[in-house]
Structure 1
């Protein structure tokens, strides 16, 4: 609502009033009188006050008085739990604030809340109480419908939501028991009353194929179908490149070039060329020129920005760009002319880029290679495959040679390599998991990783020194407190880290990961080390990448599936063509902060949805194996039980209540589970035989029971 001029001035007076050193907390009536607000403008004053509360500039205290917040009052996001208590995540802080169940004031998971922080008690987590709900986090929830006699209720899929949603009979939309539904909340309830809502969409029955993944898609609000205006534009997308465009570009169609991807990849957005003269490697990383077809501000661009990234959900991809682009004209398919943005690098024997050039090019890939076949050539010396790709074999051997040089250089400077086994989940035509195994990383996947990393670094450094507005991929140094806690923890296992007055160097964490390699505690310490670090994100300021131990880093190599890559391609091309004048630089300075923020958010959303679907499919897989036994390794120990990881990457829990042969207690200092009478000890890395006793798709949990222990 537009405020009238009189009220505008009153709102300025209002802020002055609250920031004045002599101010006192005031009730609404007192404010109306003090500011002499006319009767008709009271509603508008209330809107201004609500906006100031939302911005965290003032608060409404328990006595109904408006006042400025003190140091003990903060605004953050509430993260709920099934048990009623929760935590508030404060912006820019690493420690969450614990909120007891009787202090949540009816807040629901995802709500923006205002809290008071209680005085800190030594050695304990900070505790607080919610005093005001500033903004509701969600108004639509996905869950399972349960029918009552004269009403229904929905059990939210997200356990953190903590409360079932009451559905009046007239708002059930005909849903029956077991339907997965989307509910719009009509009343959020409070500390004593459950939320109320209406069913606005029935996704399908819980047992119907594909409904489980679609429920995750809806819960994370992932856009699936492209809007009509985007689909109409696709009629104008060509099948082949415009031959006139070749004259404006560097023609490298005669350069021996290949793509190397997974067997099932359809969007081939990077190709490689390589040669060697004396001690100098010439590496070309050629990236699909997506911006030639996706113009700034056009319908396709707006949709790509909104999506931010492609999302990979086991049996489907929700693409950032329509398939006609990603699998067609933008895909570097073999034997056809394609437009690219290329980074040519001259690299010496130490892995240092001694010269580079970025150019708009036209390429023609010679072969579409797979990681499997390249690995068979360079790793297995498979005679049959070597014969099939005879003319390309020297190229792959040279790639392997350079990748080793680059990896050694990264290792020397302290880059951290987390080598967690990713899961490969194979499903049948109905989306049912039939096999789960570790995703194999071979020498071919590592070659491409190294080449993409060096291209991303080279481009980032180039544009940093040109002082042009740009989008960087940054990873801040870890929080000192978290590193100190990690150091104390690893000390229990006989490891140590150098922690001085200055911030920790990534080399210290790298050394730790090398030391724990192939030890029983490797999985646990690796995970805790990862958790002690901050999340990588997109930023306008170049603050470096801690995990890679890189001063300059960006995402340049995947414009088909990541918006930041698309964004910087646009800047690079304008710069190459002399069109990045002061006006355009100002334009980018204005928009890039928002692009960075939004891209970081959509990336986190995609990661969370992907993890959720993976958990879902692992539970579904184990539901078919209840009563069966497996060999596993103890991967974590807590006071409530032991985590056991199977060779296929599935992890489940042996609850302490299921350990029937004794009363077991958690020895926190030695990080082990000990039997009170038998003195039997369970340690990290110990091999155990477990039986699958339960798998709950709603809770996403897998329960094991111990069968026997291998000594």
Structure 2
């Protein structure tokens, strides 16, 4: 009988009390199985999971529920494994080895027979495959497929993380070959492009940036009109749809930025060289050209292919110094662009945009890639200048594509960057956390209230924590052909067009706009095709963000290890039945205290999940309360920080 028929047969309640569903196994060993049509999940005791692993499709037998009680059952059979391969740390015993997996993908250790050691070492991070699970054995038997190096080392964590997320470090040979051929040919269509090589043009990027995909140009046309160009690397000119290179870029969908390392979407000879807008070189670009008057009003717009020649590469720090000192290379051009960017910011905020200026956690790494210093990088005027012009290009391009000259919808297929309204429950939790800190949130007027909150926390120790909490309340932005607007930016039309070297979504946006401009509608695919691509890009983006966060957490835990035993101030950000989560303000990272380890009283979670209360003294701690803690442990393997509660006198 096929799997689909089995699922259909056992879906919902049945006379023989059998059902099929996906199992969720807790870290404590007991589990729950979600059955379609059941009002509640089936509870599976620890000893009745029958060798099932997190996410497996299982067949269960359940007991008839007594009134008011949960449905309890047992796993009869594993129908389909969610996965067989796991990444963990090898711990050597005298007669066998255990691979311990710390990311909750499996709730038991994997046993490695001594004959399968094959030179792998104690504390080595490995990829292991489950080969069998004997009926009466607590642990499955595994075979090591690959080693990544000693756990906790920089390269080990990079390569194991890439493997965990299914991301390839190297490009296939046919992709590298195709990229080299493109570089050798350097095909260009100069006759079809607007020549802008004689106009002052420059790039502004981080100091360590290798893939430079945007540039700005500016010139004065008359006493009341400026021409501002936003030039984006013309990646789609080189990466042809359907090529090996295109398929690989689509599979990756993003470049991934780890501290000290980039895993590019395109081979480096394209991302760092041919496509990148380096100074003093002719470069192909896809540009948005705006004529603006002295009040910042757009008088005229033009979109199309160009050739540019950047005069200078700036870092954000260099431009910020020029702004502050009011002198330096291209000072007049930079100050004019800054003037217009401030008008754009003012208009955007007036229109209801949420103004989150995210503080980024940065690390200095030594020669062995160990973190030696943690610092916070705040957005300055140079960052905001670039950001506003990129937002302008993304907005105006999507408007140009989506609207006819009369302002009515064109109904043309395009890829949008959409952002839905926030979840009310998350907003309510945010309100609960910030109130003990002396801040207020008006539920009835969210955007205005959030912007007021963001201003209030400027320069405060809790600024980064609250900004992170605000971001968590927001819906996740995504790509779609179905435009619902962008809530956070308050844009009706918005796309991603300005980073095609590192985002495949932008390559799609470039292609669609070019098909429209050159009237090559025959190259268009169905709306279903582009919606599928949009969904893929959204999923890969989430994957990249998760991988980047996990690697950052590894560095944070490794860095904080040197402060074991020290005391710090923190803010309570969350509760579970067993633990309290604390944001360590000085490190901008989260640690955990087990409720059972709090010595001053026996604390339990309140039913509202927003506070804990002591059984004897009835002392209550709320979300947002400031407390003193001691750093007890920083476990690099688990990427977990354990704190101790300092008793209040």
TM-score interval (norm. to shorter): 0.7 to 0.9
2:544 to 602, 606, 618: 606
Deviation at 1:566, TM superposition (A): 1.1
Does 1:646 find its partner at 2:585? Answer: yes
Matches within 5 A, 1:483-632: 483=427, 495-499=440-444, 506-507=447-448, 509-510=450-451, 513-514=454-455, 526-581=467-522, 584-585=523-524, 587-629=525-567, 631-632=568-569
1:470 to 414, 429, 433: 414
- Paired with 2:71 and 2:401, the residues of 1 have a C-alpha distance of 43
SS in 1 for 2:499: coil
Once the two structures are superposed, residues 25-84 of structure 1 have per-residue CA deviations (whole angstroms, 9 ceiling, x without a partner) of xxxxxxxxxxxxxxxxxxxxx2xx31455xx655467979799x9xxx9x67x6654223
- Paired with 2:278 and 2:207, the residues of 1 have a C-alpha distance of 14
Deviation at 1:563, TM superposition (A): 0.6
**TM-score, normalised to structure 2's length?**
0.84
Q: Is the 8 A contact 2:84 2:130 kept in 1?
A: yes
2:249 to 301, 304, 312: 304
Matches within 5 A, 1:187-266: 187=132, 193-206=138-151, 210-238=155-183, 241-242=186-187, 245-266=189-210
Deviation at 1:509, TM superposition (A): 4.6
- Paired with 1:252 and 1:609, the residues of 2 have a C-alpha distance of 39
- Paired with 1:250 and 1:118, the residues of 2 have a C-alpha distance of 74
- Paired with 1:694 and 1:488, the residues of 2 have a C-alpha distance of 29
SS in 1 for 2:313: strand
Once the two structures are superposed, residues 608-650 of structure 1 have per-residue CA deviations (whole angstroms, 9 ceiling, x without a partner) of 1111111111111122332345x43425253633514233423
Sort the Cα spacing of 1:678 and 1:400 in 2 relative to 1 into closer, same or farther, 3 A: farther
- Paired with 2:70 and 2:394, the residues of 1 have a C-alpha distance of 40
Does 1:286 find its partner at 2:231? Answer: yes
Sort the Cα spacing of 1:517 and 1:315 in 2 relative to 1 into closer, same or farther, 3 A: closer
Sort the Cα spacing of 1:211 and 1:496 in 2 relative to 1 into closer, same or farther, 3 A: closer
Once the two structures are superposed, residues 81-103 of structure 1 have per-residue CA deviations (whole angstroms, 9 ceiling, x without a partner) of 42235678999xxx997966558
Sort the Cα spacing of 1:205 and 1:525 in 2 relative to 1 into closer, same or farther, 3 A: closer
Which residue of structure 2 aligns with residue 701 of structure 1?
Answer: 640
Deviation at 1:358, TM superposition (A): 0.8
Q: Unaligned 5+ residue runs, structure 1?
A: 1-45
Does 1:366 find its partner at 2:311? Answer: yes
Q: Unaligned 5+ residue runs, structure 2?
A: 404-409
Which residue of structure 2 aligns with residue 357 of structure 1?
Answer: 302
1:396 to 334, 337, 341: 334
- Paired with 1:685 and 1:426, the residues of 2 have a C-alpha distance of 30
Sort the Cα spacing of 1:409 and 1:189 in 2 relative to 1 into closer, same or farther, 3 A: farther
Deviation at 1:470, TM superposition (A): 1.9
Which residue of structure 1 aligns with residue 267 of structure 2?
Answer: 322
SS in 1 for 2:493: coil
Q: Is the 8 A contact 2:433 2:623 kept in 1?
A: no
- Paired with 1:708 and 1:446, the residues of 2 have a C-alpha distance of 44
Q: Is the 8 A contact 1:619 1:700 kept in 2?
A: yes
SS in 1 for 2:591: strand
Sort the Cα spacing of 1:186 and 1:475 in 2 relative to 1 into closer, same or farther, 3 A: farther
Q: Is the 8 A contact 1:255 1:273 kept in 2?
A: yes
Q: Is the 8 A contact 2:461 2:585 kept in 1?
A: no
Which residue of structure 1 aligns with residue 407 of structure 2?
Answer: none
Does 1:345 find its partner at 2:284? Answer: no
Once the two structures are superposed, residues 660-689 of structure 1 have per-residue CA deviations (whole angstroms, 9 ceiling, x without a partner) of 456667778896777788898877777666
Sort the Cα spacing of 1:368 and 1:525 in 2 relative to 1 into closer, same or farther, 3 A: closer
Greater Cα shift, 635-644 or 543-552: 635-644
Which residue of structure 2 aligns with residue 422 of structure 1?
Answer: 360
Sort the Cα spacing of 1:66 and 1:89 in 2 relative to 1 into closer, same or farther, 3 A: closer
1:450 to 351, 367, 388: 388
Deviation at 1:263, TM superposition (A): 0.3
**TM-score, normalised to structure 1's length?**
0.78
SS in 2 for 1:604: helix
Which residue of structure 1 aligns with residue 343 of structure 2?
Answer: 405
Once the two structures are superposed, residues 174-228 of structure 1 have per-residue CA deviations (whole angstroms, 9 ceiling, x without a partner) of 3232121111222467898433321111222226552122221211121101111
Sort the Cα spacing of 1:333 and 1:423 in 2 relative to 1 into closer, same or farther, 3 A: same
RMSD: 4.2
SS in 2 for 1:426: strand
Q: Is the 8 A contact 2:296 2:344 kept in 1?
A: yes
Sort the Cα spacing of 1:133 and 1:564 in 2 relative to 1 into closer, same or farther, 3 A: farther
Deviation at 1:531, TM superposition (A): 3.0
Greater Cα shift, 547-556 or 202-211: 202-211
Which residue of structure 1 aligns with residue 216 of structure 2?
Answer: 272
Q: Is the 8 A contact 1:416 1:506 kept in 2?
A: yes
- Paired with 1:635 and 1:448, the residues of 2 have a C-alpha distance of 36
1:634 to 552, 567, 571: 571
The total of aligned residue pairs comes to 635
Greater Cα shift, 148-157 or 252-261: 148-157
Q: Is the 8 A contact 2:439 2:453 kept in 1?
A: no
Greater Cα shift, 337-346 or 261-270: 337-346
SS in 1 for 2:189: helix
Matches within 5 A, 1:112-151: 135-151=80-96
Which residue of structure 1 aligns with residue 3 of structure 2?
Answer: 50
Sort the Cα spacing of 1:89 and 1:434 in 2 relative to 1 into closer, same or farther, 3 A: farther
Sort the Cα spacing of 1:114 and 1:541 in 2 relative to 1 into closer, same or farther, 3 A: farther
Deviation at 1:274, TM superposition (A): 3.0
